[in-house]
Amino acid sequence: MCQKQQRNKNLTNSMILLIIMLIYKLALELGFWFLLSKAYWGLGVYRYDFNLGKYLLGFIWCFLLFAMIRHDIRKPSVFFLELEYFMAIIPITVIFAFSNENILYYTAVCSGFAVAEIVVWMGKDIVIPKINLASKIIIIAFYIITIIVYITIVLQNGMFSLKALDIYEVYSVRSDFQLNKYVGYLFNWQYTIITPFLIVRAIDRKKYVTVITLCGLQFLAYLYAAQKSILFVIPLVVGIAIVSNLKSFNKLAFCGLSMGTVLVTSLGFKLNFFYQLYDLFVRRVLILSANLKFIYYDYFSTHTLIGLAGTLWGKFLGIEFPYKERIGIIISKEYFNKPEMNSNTGFWAEGYYRFGLFGILLVGILFALLILVIDEFAKWNGYSFALGISFFAIFILNDGGIIDSILFGPLTVLIFLCLFYNKEDDFKKIKFDRKKDNS
């Protein structure tokens, strides 16, 4: 009887999440077709060309991919599959149908995500040996890197300004930001992995002054670099670390995303404030990223794929970068005539521009293996701790690459952290009540 009740409960929760998904998808569709069209119709940024057949095909893929996720299991891998589904697959599906985009690329992306779901399912019982030797060394190293990064930022860029808070000055601030190559690598590690980890660790240890200090440093990094992903880490990581202890966290998180999208979309028709919120979060994070994936496909389907060029392994193997400029700049120049935009998008596009259709399946497998490693970390350090330290790194994959990052990039640091850190072997919290201890 208890098992039957549990199955019924799991089915009910899955149905609720499915309804949330459908509402979210509808909000994205209405916002793209009716709200964004007021500002972008005829400008060439987005294409408005609805195709009913592709809409129905997208619906089939959405239901199939949703059904392949084990929503009843409380693991980081399940949450991150759901996150990628909401953040990437559904927006891509919207653009696919409402912009009449390429069916081959869309099918490849959905197939790649299905492969990721299968790998996670098959790897659910894999046990990775835990090495508990370096927790204290990791903490010391992370604080040393933090000091080096922020001192170098100030020395090379001078006093910060508030120009990055002006949406019209973001690109100029971003282009003026300078760091030498090696500290640039550390800076990427810093805001993606190190600062989120230190924030979650401080929350777990109830060191709230440290939390505020680290959030302040992250905000300072944004003022210098003007990359929106840096700014998002503060509410995202702090929020995840605090509320992910709730048993219904997954459902609440995606319900919040769905209802938030509905709210800013519906009110964006009437109120400029909500339209600005829509533009900042829905358009830039979801719609623009999905649209860029098809643009990347359009460009690289007729241009040279880059393979491992531009990665550290590519340098070791002597693979030269086939273009004179960075890919994001090339895309911005070719399609928007604004090279300063540096239009980057997620790892599904990276898979294609490196290795073609095979690369899309490859990045799906890499994504699955990565979140399985995070599952192992959660066994030793807890679900919320694991989700908190890794959330931002997974979140920004919707706007960046996984192959480059996993080859001595931020994801290498995350994997290293998952394999070698155990909070039970961390420095013990200092106890100030000495009399009580000695009594």
Least confident piece of the model among 15-19, 109-113, 362-366 = 15-19
Q: What is the pLDDT of residues 205-226, one digit of tens each?
A: 999 999 999 999 999 998 888 8
Alpha-carbon distances, residue 284 vs 65, 93, 229, 288, 341 (angstroms) = 24, 16, 11, 5, 12
Residues 239 and 359 in one domain: yes
Residue 201 forms part of a structural domain: yes
Rounded Cα distance, 112 and 106, in Å: 10
Q: Is the pLDDT of residue 314 over 90?
A: no
Residue 6 forms part of a structural domain: yes
Q: Is the pLDDT of residue 303 over 70?
A: yes
Q: Is the pLDDT of residue 392 over 80?
A: yes
Provide Rg for the chain, Cα atoms: 22
Residue 322 forms part of a structural domain: yes
Give the chain's mean pLDDT. Answer: 89
Structural domain count, the chain: 3
Nearest to 258 by CA among 233, 288, 232, 281: 281
Q: What is the pLDDT, as a whole number, of residue 230? A: 85
Residues 169 and 285 in one domain: no
Is-contact 365 117, C-beta < 8 A? no
Is-contact 198 151, C-beta < 8 A? no
The percent of residues in the chain predicted with pLDDT above 90, rounded, is 59
Residue 76 forms part of a structural domain: yes
Residues 24 and 73 in one domain: yes
Rounded Cα distance, 170 and 227, in Å: 8
Sign of the torsion angle spanned by Cα atoms 78, 79, 83, 84: negative
Model confidence at 426, in pLDDT bands (50, 70, 90)? confident
Question: Residues 153-167: what's their mean pLDDT?
Answer: 84
Rounded Cα distance, 129 and 31, in Å: 47
Model confidence at 125, in pLDDT bands (50, 70, 90)? low
Model confidence at 437, in pLDDT bands (50, 70, 90)? very low
Q: What is the pLDDT, as a whole number, of residue 434? A: 40
Q: What is the pLDDT of residues 36-60, one digit of tens each?
A: 988 888 777 899 999 999 999 999 9
Least confident piece of the model among 63-77, 236-250, 296-310 = 236-250
Where is the domain boundary, 316, 343, 370? Answer: 343
Model confidence at 129, in pLDDT bands (50, 70, 90)? low
Residues 8 and 119 in one domain: yes
Residues 218 and 69 in one domain: no
Q: What is the pLDDT, as a whole number, of residue 430? A: 53
Residue 350 forms part of a structural domain: no
Burial string for 180-201 (b: 16+ CB within 10 Å, else e) reads eeebebbbbbbbbbbbbbbbbb
Model confidence at 432, in pLDDT bands (50, 70, 90)? very low
Residues 280 and 335 in one domain: no
Burial string for 1-38 (b: 16+ CB within 10 Å, else e) reads eeeeeeeeeeeeebeebeebbbebbebbbebbeebbee
Q: Which residue has the higher pLDDT, 96 or 8?
A: 96
Q: Which residue has the higher pLDDT, 290 or 340?
A: 290
Q: Is the pLDDT of residue 167 over 60?
A: yes
The end-to-end CA distance of the chain, in Å, is: 52
Residues 92 and 23 in one domain: yes
Residue type, 157: N
Residues 114 and 26 in one domain: yes
Residue 438 forms part of a structural domain: no
Residue 349 forms part of a structural domain: no
Residues 180 and 92 in one domain: no
Residues 232 and 256 in one domain: no
Range(s) of the domain holding residue 50: 1-126+250-302
Question: Residues 188-211: what's their mean pLDDT?
Answer: 93
Residue 348 forms part of a structural domain: no
Residues 296 and 310 in one domain: no
Residues 298 and 311 in one domain: no
Q: What is the pLDDT of residues 269-302, one digit of tens each?
A: 999 999 999 998 899 889 999 999 999 999 999 9
Rounded Cα distance, 189 and 102, in Å: 35
Least confident piece of the model among 15-19, 138-142, 381-385, 424-428 = 424-428
